[in-house]
């Protein structure tokens, strides 16, 4: 399951956003730092309107969406990499996620205390990113000490040392690991380190309700930083997300439309995360269930089958494939077969977004 860690300074709206995203989470949201000490974890169904349509066509008994896990990690502060504010504990939690969602406060509110005394997204981002970089530097330096000894007799260690020295120089120059061009071999070498600044990053610019559609000057400051860092920006409002939770599902669309937006923060964050990580969704449907499956872009049919069960990949014969839009237009799988819309694809087929698949295999 995809894991996204929600990080940021204290009192920027992390826990409020987390509670709203998972709806039934029990994270506290209070007006003081370090309210969240242990990471709160919530599993969220990924919204996908295609599932209900396919379930109706197939008369499915149930719908099973793909899911994403959000981890609410306590607020970081200056000095976190040296243990300030329980920083080492919090940084360890971040190493376990696939992507980082850094919540940045882009709203003014005299009733909500800012840990630094004023609202300044550029400063806040610099504080958090510096602590992540310092934590990476400390880890790289420890690894380099061990690798230097091995490099006397090992070519593999010599290569690793070269990569580590490159990353150390970049971090010292203020460049994140994700911005450093690395070959596939170099990427493999550093993967076990789980470097924080190597993880895909999304900035969630948290704005007031009346600025959700338009953004503001502070949001533009965040965008400028993201453009330099190979990161994405999603404009969200933790306040709006909290209010959406209280509304019946049928009223949420009208509420968002009144604010001038088409979707809530959950959809925006998930879409950005999938895009950043290069993820795709394929679908399976039948009388028992209609289900969504998450794969990496470029996956071949046998690998996609293996997401369901490893035996499917081992015994893969072929994949019966149809595009979602073609199936809906045909009205049923039987009609689609009669119209020649269902294709038989082999082991070299690259699964596409929205493919509806039926795998044939031997065990």
- Can you read off the two tokens belonging to residue 168? 């150390």
Residue 196 CA to residue 193 CA, distance in Å, equals 9
- Can you read off the two tokens belonging to residue 90? 């919090």
Q: Is 279 exposed, middle or buried (0-12, 13-18, 19+ CB in 10 A)?
A: buried
CB atoms closer than 10 angstroms to residue 174: 11
CA–centroid distance for 93 within its chain: 15
Quote the pLDDT of residue 74. 62
Phi, psi of 248 (to 5 degrees): -65, 145
Question: Is residue 30 over pLDDT 50?
Answer: no
Quote the pLDDT of residue 246. 85
Contact 203, 12 (CB under 8 A): no
Confidence of residue 166 (pLDDT cuts 50, 70, 90): very high
Three-state secondary-structure class, residue 103:
strand
Question: Is residue 348 over pLDDT 90?
Answer: yes
Mean pLDDT of 159-172: 95
Residue with the bigger pLDDT between 5 and 344: it is 344
What average pLDDT is seen over the chain? 86
Cα–Cα distances (Å) from 77 to 3, 36, 127, in that order, read 23, 13, 7
Query: pLDDT tens, 184-223?
Result: 999 999 999 999 999 999 999 999 999 999 999 999 999 9
Query: pLDDT tens, 287-339?
Result: 999 999 999 999 999 999 999 999 999 999 999 999 999 999 999 999 999 99
Domains of the chain: 2-276 (3.40.50.300), 298-361 (3.10.20.30)
Residue 284 CA to residue 32 CA, distance in Å, equals 46
Quote the pLDDT of residue 271. 85
Percent of the chain with pLDDT over 70: 88
Quote the pLDDT of residue 353. 95
Confidence of residue 236 (pLDDT cuts 50, 70, 90): very high
Contact 6, 70 (CB under 8 A): yes
Question: Is residue 277 over pLDDT 80?
Answer: yes
Q: Which residue reads 């690793």 in tokens?
A: 160
Percent of the chain with pLDDT over 90: 58
Total residue length of the chain: 363
CB atoms closer than 10 angstroms to residue 156: 11
Query: pLDDT tens, 72-124?
Result: 876 655 554 454 444 445 567 778 889 999 999 998 877 666 666 688 999 99
Contact 52, 291 (CB under 8 A): no
Residue 89 CA to residue 110 CA, distance in Å, equals 30
CA–centroid distance for 312 within its chain: 27
Quote the pLDDT of residue 111. 67
Confidence of residue 29 (pLDDT cuts 50, 70, 90): very low
- Laid out side by side, the sheet with 62-64 consists of 62-64, 289-296, 279-285, 355-361, 316-323, 343-345
CB atoms closer than 10 angstroms to residue 130: 16
Quote the pLDDT of residue 57. 95
Beta strand pairing call for 201-206 and 279-285 = unpaired
Confidence of residue 224 (pLDDT cuts 50, 70, 90): very high
Confidence of residue 126 (pLDDT cuts 50, 70, 90): very high
Quote the pLDDT of residue 82. 54
């Amino acid at each position: 399951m995809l894991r996204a860690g929600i990080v940021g300074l204290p009192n920027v709206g992390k826990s409020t956003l987390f509670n709203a995203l998972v709806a039934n989470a029990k994270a506290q949201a209070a007006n003081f730092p370090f309210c969240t000490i242990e990471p709160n974890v919530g599993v969220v169904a990924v919204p996908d309107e295609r599932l209900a349509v396919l379930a109706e066509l197939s008369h499915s008994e149930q719908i099973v969406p793909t899911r994403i896990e959000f981890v609410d990690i306590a607020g970081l502060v200056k000095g976190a990499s040296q243990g300030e504010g329980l920083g080492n504990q919090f940084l360890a939690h971040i190493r376990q996620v696939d992507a980082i969602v850094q919540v940045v406060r882009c709203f003014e509110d005299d009733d909500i205390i800012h840990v630094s005394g004023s609202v300044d997204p550029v400063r806040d981002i610099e504080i958090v990113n510096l602590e992540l970089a310092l934590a990476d530097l400390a880890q790289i330096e420890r690894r380099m000490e061990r690798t230097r000894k091995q490099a006397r007799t090992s070519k593999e260690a010599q290569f690793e040392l070269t990569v580590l020295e490159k990353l150390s120089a970049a971090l010292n120059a203020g460049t994140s690991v994700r911005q450093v061009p690395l070959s596939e071999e170099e990427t493999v070498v550093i993967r076990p380190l789980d470097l924080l600044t190597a993880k895909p990053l999304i900035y969630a610019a948290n704005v007031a309700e009346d600025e959700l559609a338009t953004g503001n000057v502070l949001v533009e400051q965040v965008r400028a930083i993201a453009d330099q860092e190979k990161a994405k920006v999603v404009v969200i409002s933790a306040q709006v997300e909290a209010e959406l939770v209280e509304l019946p599902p049928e009223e949420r669309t009208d509420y968002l439309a009144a604010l001038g937006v088409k979707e809530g923060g959950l959809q925006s964050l998930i879409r950005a995360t999938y895009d950043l990580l290069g993820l795709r969704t394929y679908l399976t449907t039948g009388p028992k269930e209609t289900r969504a499956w998450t794969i990496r872009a470029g996956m071949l049919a046998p690998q996609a089958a293996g997401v369901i069960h490893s035996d499917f990949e081992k015994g893969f014969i072929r994949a019966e494939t149809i595009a979602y839009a073609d199936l809906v237009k045909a009205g049923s799988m039987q009609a689609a077969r009669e119209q020649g819309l269902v294709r038989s694809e082999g082991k070299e087929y690259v699964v596409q977004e929205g493919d509806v698949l039926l795998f044939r295999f031997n065990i």
